[in-house]
C-alpha cells in the first residue's frame, strides 16, 4: 500500500475493523517514512470479473464505475448513501455469484436497471436514459409508458355500481 502523501510503499496497519455492512474492512494506516495517517477501505473480491463491451473489448470489472453510475442516477433522490452502497454490494454479489468470469456490459446494465426500478422510478429513468442511449423521443416515451401501471391495476376512485 502506497502512502497517499509521500508515495512511500512501506505503511503499517494500526487498526482494522469491518465496515457497518460487513462487506469491507476499514484499515487505519501510518506511513513509516512521513508518519502521516490515512484510512483505506479494502473489499473481498471473490473472483476476477471481466466485462465484455458491446464492441467486443474485454476489460476488468470496475466496481467504482458501477457505484458512480448508481450514485449519479440517485443524485438528489431520497436514498441515503448507506442504501446506495448496499445496492452496489448486492449487484456485485449477483455478478460474482453468477459463476461466470466474463459478464457482458448489457447484463450489468440490466441488473442495475432492475435494482433501480425497484427502488426509485426517477433513478431508473435516469439510468435507463444513459444506458439505453435513446436517440428518439419516442423510445424514451415508451420507457415511461411501460412504467405506468395498466388501467386494470389502477383502483377506481368512484364507488362500485350496485
Q: What is the mean pLDDT of the chain?
A: 85
Indicate if 57 and 35 belong to the same structural domain.
no
- Which residues span the domain enclosing 32? 11-43
pLDDT in tens, 81-106: 989 999 999 999 899 888 888 999 99
Indicate if 38 and 64 belong to the same structural domain.
no
Answer yes or no: pTM beyond 0.75. Answer: no
Residue 152 has pLDDT above 80, yes or no: no
Number of structural domains, the chain? 2
Indicate if 30 and 106 belong to the same structural domain.
no
In a domain, 159, yes or no: no
Indicate if 32 and 62 belong to the same structural domain.
no
**153 pLDDT band (50/70/90 cuts)?**
very low
- The confidence score (pLDDT) of residue 148 equals 67
Residue 64 has pLDDT above 80, yes or no: yes
Q: Please state, in angstroms and rounded to a whole number, the distance separating the CA atoms of residues 39 and 30.
A: 9
In a domain, 117, yes or no: yes
- The confidence score (pLDDT) of residue 151 equals 41
Nearest residue to 84 (alpha-carbon basis) of 99, 98, 101, 66:
66
Indicate if 68 and 123 belong to the same structural domain.
yes
- Quick check: helix, strand or coil at residue 96? helix
Nearest residue to 24 (alpha-carbon basis) of 79, 74, 67:
67
Indicate if 20 and 65 belong to the same structural domain.
no
Q: Please state, in angstroms and rounded to a whole number, the distance separating the CA atoms of residues 74 and 80.
A: 9
- The confidence score (pLDDT) of residue 70 equals 96
Mean pLDDT over residues 117-135, rounded?
85
* Residues 6 or more apart in contact with residue 103 via CB below 8 angstroms: 49, 50, 51, 52, 61, 95
- The confidence score (pLDDT) of residue 149 equals 60
In a domain, 18, yes or no: yes
Amino acid at each position: 500500500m502506497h502512502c497517499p502523501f509521500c508515495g512511500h510503499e512501506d505503511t503499517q496497519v494500526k487498526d482494522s475493523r469491518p465496515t457497518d455492512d460487513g462487506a469491507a474492512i476499514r484499515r487505519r494506516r501510518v506511513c513509516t517514512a512521513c508518519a502521516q495517517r490515512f484510512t483505506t477501505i479494502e473489499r473481498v473480491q471473490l473472483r476476477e470479473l471481466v466485462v465484455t463491451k458491446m464492441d467486443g473489448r474485454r476489460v476488468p470489472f470496475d466496481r467504482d464505475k458501477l457505484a458512480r453510475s448508481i450514485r449519479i442516477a440517485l443524485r438528489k433522490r431520497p436514498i441515503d448513501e448507506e442504501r446506495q452502497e448496499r445496492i452496489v454490494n448486492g449487484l456485485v454479489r449477483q455478478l460474482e455469484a453468477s459463476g461466470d468470469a466474463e459478464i457482458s456490459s448489457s447484463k450489468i446494465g440490466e441488473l442495475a436497471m432492475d435494482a433501480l426500478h425497484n427502488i426509485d422510478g426517477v433513478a431508473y429513468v435516469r439510468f435507463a436514459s444513459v444506458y439505453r442511449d435513446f436517440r428518439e423521443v419516442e423510445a424514451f416515451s415508451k420507457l415511461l409508458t411501460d412504467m405506468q401501471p395498466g388501467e386494470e391495476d389502477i383502483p377506481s376512485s368512484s364507488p362500485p355500481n350496485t
